[in-house]
Amino acid sequence: MECEMKTLVTIKEMRVPQRNYTHAQRACVIGMSVKIATFEEVKEATGVEPGAVCPILLRVQLLVDRRVLAKERINFGSGHHLYGLEIDPRDLERIVEYREVDIAEAH
């Protein structure tokens, strides 16, 4: 089974994990400057530490790369480091509104 995990955390300006994205792709799709969120920024914005962030509970625009939606299953944080969530990507639209984007580089 192939699984994928990506989390985007937004605070005033978009913060996106560095790996798998080019700066030009992020800036073009998002339309603003981007930088990697620090540990403290993630904790302040979400109330949990990086690695535990549950993207469906955030009150921000959720951007989901089309490659994530093509996976058999997707995994993401639950708000607690010991527990995670795994769903069929087709079920994501039933849970939360998101915008499908193309910002990850192909491997």
Confirm if 103 and 64 have CB atoms less than 8 A apart.
no
Compute CA 59 distance to the chain's CA centroid, rounded to the nearest angstrom: 13
Structural domains for the chain: 3-101 (3.90.960.10)
pTM, whole model, 2 decimals?
0.66
Confirm if 67 and 47 have CB atoms less than 8 A apart.
no
Per-residue pLDDT of the chain (107 residues), as tens digits, is 343 334 444 433 434 444 455 655 666 666 666 677 888 988 988 899 998 999 888 887 888 888 889 889 999 999 999 999 999 999 999 999 998 887 766 55
β-sheet bridge partners, residue 4: 74
